[in-house]
A and B are shown apart, each in its own frame.
Chain A
Amino acid sequence: DTAVSQTPKYLVTQMGNDKSIKCEQNLGHDTMYWYKQDSKKFLKIMFSYNNKELIINETVPNRFSPKSPDKAHLNLHINSLELGDSAVYFCASSDHEKLFFGSGTQLSVL
Chain B
Amino acid sequence: DAKTTQPTSMDCAEGRAANLPCNHSTISGNEYVYWYRQIHSQGPQYIIHGLKNNETNEMASLIITEDRKSSTLILPHATLRDTAVYYCIVRVRGYDMRFGAGTRLTVKP
By a beta-carbon cutoff of 8 Å, the part of chain A in contact with chain B is: 4, 31, 33, 35, 41-45, 48, 56, 88, 90, 92, 94-104
Q: How far is the CB of B4 from chain A (nearest CB, A)?
A: 14
In the complex with contacts A92-B43, A94-B94, A104-B41, A99-B99 CB distance below 8 A: no
A101 contacts B43, C-beta separation under 8 Å: yes
The listed residue (B42, B46, B85, B101) touching A99 by CB distance below 8 A is B46
The residues of A that contact B36 with a CB separation of less than 8 Å are 99
In the complex with contacts A41-B85, A42-B101, A96-B94 CB distance below 8 A: yes
Query: Which residue of chain B is the closest to A94 with respect to CB atoms?
Result: B95
Asked if B10 lies at the interface with its beta carbon under 8 angstroms from chain A, I say no
In the complex with contacts A41-B85, A98-B49, A99-B36, A48-B42 CB distance below 8 A: no
Chain A interface helix/strand/loop/mixed: strand
- Cα separation A33 to B99 with both chains bound (whole Å): 13
Interface residues on B, range: 20 to 34
The residues of A that contact B46 with a CB separation of less than 8 Å are 98-100
9 pairs from A and B in contact (CB 8 Å cutoff): A33-B95, A56-B96, A94-B95, A96-B94, A98-B34, A99-B36, A99-B95, A101-B45, A104-B41
B94 contacts A97, C-beta separation under 8 Å: yes
Q: How far is the CB of A95 from chain B (nearest CB, A)?
A: 7
B94 contacts A95, C-beta separation under 8 Å: yes
Query: Which residue of chain A is the closest to B32 with respect to CB atoms?
Result: A97
The residues of A that contact B85 with a CB separation of less than 8 Å are 41
Asked if B21 lies at the interface with its beta carbon under 8 angstroms from chain A, I say no
Given contacts A99-B94, A99-B95, 18 further A-B pairs with CB under 8 A are A4-B43, A35-B99, A41-B85, A42-B101, A43-B87, A44-B99, A45-B97, A48-B96, A90-B43, A94-B94, A94-B95, A95-B94, A96-B94, A101-B43, A101-B44, A103-B42, A103-B43, A104-B43
